Structures are given as C-alpha cells and as structure tokens.
C-alpha cells in the first residue's frame, strides 16, 4: 500500500500562534499541575444518504419522516455500508496524514438507550479506517466511521432528562454517518483546544466532507481531561466532558473542569473517572454516569457487513477529491503573495474568504490591486459590511469590482474614505465598475492642487484654536481640522495629503 500524500504537511504554522506559550495557570502553592487534554470529535458527514441505509439525511424535516426499517432497527433489516462515507473517511485520513488501513471492520457496540433502536451502534473498534496522523501540533490517534444515534428531546423547563415531563425521539438523525476523530493527549490549555478545533473545522470544511456546524451539531467535541505534575510523563485519572457545542463553551468547560480537578488534587483528594456534563448557562459541571469500560459494550464484529477493503482505486478517488488544505493555502499566501501571516490565515482558514480573494486577484483589474491591500479589504472592509459568517460570494459585490476599487485606492485615484463609500454602494446595489460610481458620485480624489489648499486654508480659519494648538506641538489637535476638510470634500481628500498641507500652511 502506497503512503497517501499528506497535504496537511506543515500545518503547524497555521492558526496556532494564539496558543503558543500560555502554559497552565496555577495560582496556588504546591507542585505545579499541568492539564493533559485530548479531544474526541464527532463529525456528521455530508453524504447523500445515511450510513447504512438509503434514507436521505435530515435538515429539519418533520420528526420521523426520514426513516426506514434499517435505521429504525426493525426485525429482519440489514445494514449496507455507505461508499461515500468511506470515501470521505479516507479523505479525512489523508488530510490528517493517517495510515489508511487496507482492511478495517465494523463492530457492534452494545448498549441500551432509547435513541438506539437496535440496541447497538455500528461503529469501529480495534480495526478502524485510519490510524495515527497529525494536524498542527496535535497528533491524531485514530479516525473511524460509525452511525449517529437518534435525537432525544426532553420536554420540560430544563431541557434535560431530569425533571422533564416527557422524552420524545426523532429518528431522522439516527443512522447519519459520523467520523469520530480521536486525538492524542497533546493539548495543554483550553485556548489551545479551541484554536486547534478551529483548524480542524477549517480543514474539514475545505475537504467538503461536512457542514462542520457546532450549533447544529454536525461538529461535536468531547474533551478528556486530566492533571499531572508539570514536567512528568504520567497520566492522571481523566474525566470526559460532554455537551460543549460552541468554541466558547469548549474553552469555558475545559477551564472549569481543570479548576475542579485542581481543587480536588490540591485538597488531597482523588479525581474519579466519569463522564461529565457541562451546563453552559450556569457553568456547572455535573456527573452523567460513571465511565464505561470497553468491555461493558460487548463489542463484536458486525456479521452483516463485509470488512472494508481499501483498494488503489478508492485511494486514487480520494486523492482526486482532495482540495488544497487551509494550512497549505495559508503558507502559499505568505510565500507566493507576500501576505502577512495574520492575513494569510484569516483568508485561508475561512475558505470562502480565500476563494473570494483569489477570484478578485485573478480578475485582472486595471490598475491591479496589491495583494496585501486587497487582502485587507476582503478580510476587513468587505467582511464588516456583510452579515456574521456570510459568504462574500453571496453578496452583490463582484470580486472583479472589489479588485478594481482597491486598485483605484492604492493608486490614490480616490481616497480610502471615498473607497469605502464606493464599497457601500457596491454592497447595496452591486455593479461591476467602481470607476463609474466614483464619477457619478463625484468621489474622485482631490489632488494636491490649489483646490485642496484652499479648502485646508478655510478649515484652518474656521478652527483657529485647533490650529494654534497644532502649531504649539499638540499633534492630536489636527483631528477637527482634517474632519472639516473631509466634510467639505465629502471624504474625497487623501488624509496624508491634507496633513501635509496643514503642516505646510502652519509653517511646521
């Protein structure tokens, strides 16, 4: 078996600056304790149909309308593995640099719960699809495929099972394909966990294998947390923290659990291995159940499914579907386009921004916009004018129009302020020719000629106090003067040129 290429190589440079350093925050005496954190991520795969039957995936349909004898676990029904899910699993394994098992098998994981009609979940156990790997500075333990459980809704005030009036089951979600990604315990802080998860989400989104939406549950993360004396290799007793459905909750939940364990250990107690529930509203952590051991699940090979045998054709198909991954793209933006690391990551990790940026760059605007300036406009001015998380490709602003606009600004054909006004117009009305808007609105830059000098002189006259303070060395006092010029010119004047003229006319 050939080694799959690993487009995730060099991912360590991406998106992780924020987590470097930091270290565990200890505030008491005694031996310093460091958190040891590993993540288990469940990703709903964006296949057409469910993992083991031909029901379509559900996107908010009425409850129990996307079901069949297989995903309802009716007697006599049989599972058939979804080839597209296996394909996506291989792509994930390739992106994470995992070893792809030539042969993997499904197991039955037996447990009783109302969201699991068969009484077992079809999952993978000791022969998973992908083994090992790395993303950024975090090693991957394994990636395997399984089916999602049905959705339980607890009717009542708390929304949790305790104290609820009733619990109802929606089997639409049951059987949705999941990839479970398990990391090694390489994470040391809550912030690092959250930042790394963002990198993983961006990577999965770039692969196109999942919607990776935490709020909607297509990306779910549990954390295994333990503490140990700093500098040692031992592993302490761990707890598993569930129900953290946003990046903010992940940080808060892990922090809360680390502090809980720290208090226990520093108080001379011992942490108990258990599964914990984090309540984002109260910040409280409560015990769900004592942690099961693997043997509690009575795993055995699923006899209704054949082993998954990966052949060269499947590997080739997965390779062909791999797009450039975010970490590699950020590096390319830095190396080839000379973007700052911050800009490169912003555009690469929100792939829709990166796509838009590259389309604008390719639009052959005249004059051409410098890459960094264009990056600033895409990641700053444009994004701030769109809705939260909105894809600029869905806006009225054509990439070519933005490129032309940025070209005008960087050539000082119009001022930055005028450029922003043109962008407002483009966002509201669309259009492909910013120069026409500049003309129609009279936004062309007022050059350094007599016209601007006269306006500056008038502004100095109208703001004599401020002019005096600028003259006596108070640089900040120039604000009202520039403001007056900008009002008079409707923002068409270049700020640098105005400052120069003020200084010139004040003789400083």
Using CB under 8 A, which of 4, 14, 79, 128 touches other proteins? 79
Q: What gap in Å lies between CA 441 and CA 425, rounded to an integer? A: 10
Prior bond of 367 cis (ω within 30°): yes
Q: What number of CA atoms fall less than 13 Å from residue 76's CA on the CB side?
A: 2
Using CB under 8 A, which of 40, 73, 81, 400 touches other proteins? 81
Q: Which two tokens stand for residue 389?
A: 């998380």
From the CB of 83, what's the least distance to other proteins, in Å? Answer: 11
Q: Given the complex with other proteins, which of 172 and 224 has the nearer CB atom?
A: 172
Q: What gap in Å lies between CA 347 and CA 375, rounded to an integer? A: 8
- Interface positions, 41-70, toward other proteins (CB under 8 A): 54, 68-69
From the CB of 302, what's the least distance to other proteins, in Å? Answer: 8
From the CB of 309, what's the least distance to other proteins, in Å? Answer: 12
Q: Given the complex with other proteins, which of 81 and 237 has the nearer CB atom?
A: 81
Q: Given the complex with other proteins, which of 121 and 415 has the nearer CB atom?
A: 121
Rounded to 5, what percent of the chain is helix, strand, coil? 40, 20, 40
Stretch that binds other proteins, among 72-80, 148-156, 265-273, 497-505 (CB under 8 A): 72-80
Using CB under 8 A, which of 1, 18, 20, 74 touches other proteins? 74
Kindly report each contact of residues 119-125 with a partner whose C-beta sits within 8 Å and lies 24 or more positions away, as own/partner: 119/73, 121/146, 121/147, 121/149, 122/51, 122/52, 122/79, 122/146, 122/147, 122/302, 122/305, 123/147, 123/180, 125/294, 125/299
Q: What gap in Å lies between CA 418 and CA 493, rounded to an integer? A: 8
Q: Given the complex with other proteins, which of 81 and 131 has the nearer CB atom?
A: 81
Q: What gap in Å lies between CA 443 and CA 491, rounded to an integer? A: 8
Q: What gap in Å lies between CA 218 and CA 50, rounded to an integer? A: 14
Q: Given the complex with other proteins, which of 77 and 499 has the nearer CB atom?
A: 77
The H or E element that residue 224 is part of is: strand 219-229
From the CB of 407, what's the least distance to other proteins, in Å? Answer: 54
Q: Given the complex with other proteins, which of 303 and 449 has the nearer CB atom?
A: 303
By DSSP bridging, strand 33-44 and strand 177-183 are: antiparallel
Specify burial of residue 106 (Cβ count, 10 A radius: 0-12, 13-18, 19+): buried
Using CB under 8 A, which of 60, 76, 313, 507 touches other proteins? 76
Q: Given the complex with other proteins, which of 74 and 284 has the nearer CB atom?
A: 74
Q: Given the complex with other proteins, which of 195 and 302 has the nearer CB atom?
A: 302
Q: Given the complex with other proteins, which of 292 and 311 has the nearer CB atom?
A: 311
Q: Given the complex with other proteins, which of 122 and 401 has the nearer CB atom?
A: 122
Instruction: Determine contact, residues 360/45, Cβ cutoff 8 Å.
Output: no
Stretch that binds other proteins, among 79-87, 110-118, 378-386, 452-460 (CB under 8 A): 79-87
- Interface positions, 124-153, toward other proteins (CB under 8 A): none
107-116 burial: b if 16+ Cβ within 10 Å, else e: bbbeeeeebb
From the CB of 301, what's the least distance to other proteins, in Å? Answer: 9
Instruction: Determine contact, residues 301/97, Cβ cutoff 8 Å.
Output: no
Q: Given the complex with other proteins, which of 77 and 230 has the nearer CB atom?
A: 77
Q: Which two tokens stand for residue 330?
A: 């950020």
From the CB of 180, what's the least distance to other proteins, in Å? Answer: 21
How crowded is residue 341: how many other Cβ atoms within 10 Å of its Cβ? 15
Q: What gap in Å lies between CA 443 and CA 414, rounded to an integer? A: 7
Phi-psi label, residue 507: left if phi above 0, alpha if psi -120 to 50, beta otherwise: left
From the CB of 65, what's the least distance to other proteins, in Å? Answer: 14
From the CB of 124, what's the least distance to other proteins, in Å? Answer: 15
- Interface positions, 438-497, toward other proteins (CB under 8 A): none
From the CB of 53, what's the least distance to other proteins, in Å? Answer: 9
Q: What is the dihedral of CA 164, 165, 167, 170, to 10 degrees?
A: -110
Using CB under 8 A, which of 75, 231, 267, 313 touches other proteins? 75
- Each residue 5-44 as x (binds other proteins by CB under 8 A) or -, in order, gives ----------------------------------------
Q: Given the complex with other proteins, which of 136 and 174 has the nearer CB atom?
A: 174
Give the three-state DSSP class for 167: strand
From the CB of 269, what's the least distance to other proteins, in Å? Answer: 47
From the CB of 77, what's the least distance to other proteins, in Å? Answer: 7
Instruction: Determine contact, residues 190/258, Cβ cutoff 8 Å.
Output: yes
# of chain residues touching other proteins (CB under 8 A): 15
Q: Given the complex with other proteins, which of 87 and 385 has the nearer CB atom?
A: 87
How crowded is residue 427: how many other Cβ atoms within 10 Å of its Cβ? 16
From the CB of 86, what's the least distance to other proteins, in Å? Answer: 12
- Interface positions, 264-323, toward other proteins (CB under 8 A): 303-306
From the CB of 104, what's the least distance to other proteins, in Å? Answer: 14
Residue 78 interacting with other proteins (CB under 8 A)? yes
Q: Write out the residues near other proteins by the rule CB under 8 A.
A: 54, 68-69, 74-81, 303-306
């Amino acid at each position: 078996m050939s080694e799959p290429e690993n487009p995730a190589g060099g991912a360590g440079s991406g998106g992780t600056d924020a987590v470097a350093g930091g270290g565990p925050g200890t505030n008491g005496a005694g031996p310093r304790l460091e958190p040891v954190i590993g993540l288990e991520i469940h990703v709903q795969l964006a296949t057409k149909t469910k993992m083991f039957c031909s029901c379509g995936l559900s996107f908010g349909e009425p409850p129990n309308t996307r079901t069949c004898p297989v995903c309802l676990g009716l007697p006599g029904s049989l599972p058939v593995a979804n080839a597209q899910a296996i394909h996506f699993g291989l792509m994930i394994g390739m992106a994470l640099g995992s070893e792809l098992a030539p042969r993997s098998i499904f197991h039955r994981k037996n447990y009783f719960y109302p969201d699991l009609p068969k009484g077992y979940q079809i999952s993978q156990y000791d022969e998973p699809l992908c083994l090992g790997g790395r993303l950024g500075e975090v090693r991957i333990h394994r990636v395997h495929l399984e089916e999602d459980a049905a959705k339980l809704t607890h009717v009542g005030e708390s929304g949790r099972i305790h104290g609820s009036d009733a619990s109802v089951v929606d089997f639409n979600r049951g059987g949705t394909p999941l990839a479970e990604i398990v990391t090694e315990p390489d994470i040391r802080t809550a912030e690092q966990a959250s930042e790394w998860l963002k990198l993983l989400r961006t990577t999965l989104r770039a692969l196109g294998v999942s919607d990776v939406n935490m709020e909607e549950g297509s990306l779910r993360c549990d954390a295994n947390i333990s503490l140990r004396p700093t500098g040692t290799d031992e592993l302490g007793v761990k707890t598993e923290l569930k129900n953290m459905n946003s990046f903010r909750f992940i940080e808060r939940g892990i922090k809360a659990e680390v502090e809980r364990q720290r208090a226990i250990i520093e108080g001379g107690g011992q942490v108990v291995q258990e599964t914990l529930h984090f309540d984002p509203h109260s910040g409280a952590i409560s015990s769900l159940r004592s942690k099961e051991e693997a043997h509690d699940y009575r795993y055995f090979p699923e006899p209704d499914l054949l082993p998954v045998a990966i052949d060269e054709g499947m590997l080739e198909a997965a390779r062909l579907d791999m797009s450039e991954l975010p970490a590699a793209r950020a590096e390319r933006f830095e190396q080839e386009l000379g973007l700052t690391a911050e800009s490169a990551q912003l555009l690469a990790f929100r792939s829709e921004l990166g796509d838009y940026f590259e389309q604008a760059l390719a639009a052959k605007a005249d004059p051409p916009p410098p890459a960094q300036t264009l990056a600033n406009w895409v990641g700053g001015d444009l994004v701030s004018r769109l809705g939260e998380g909105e894809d600029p490709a869905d806006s009225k602003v054509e990439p070519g129009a933005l490129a032309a606009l940025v070209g005008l600004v960087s050539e000082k054909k119009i001022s930055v302020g005028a450029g922003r006004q043109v962008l407002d117009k483009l966002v509201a009305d669309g259009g492909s020719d910013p120069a026409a808007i500049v003309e129609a609105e009279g936004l062309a830059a007022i050059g350094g000629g007599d016209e601007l000098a006269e306006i500056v002189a008038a502004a100095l006259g109208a703001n004599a106090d401020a002019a005096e303070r600028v003259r006596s060395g108070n640089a900040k006092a120039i604000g009202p003067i520039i403001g007056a010029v900008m009002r008079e010119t409707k923002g068409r004047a270049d700020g640098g040129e105005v400052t120069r003229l003020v200084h010139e006319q004040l003789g400083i």
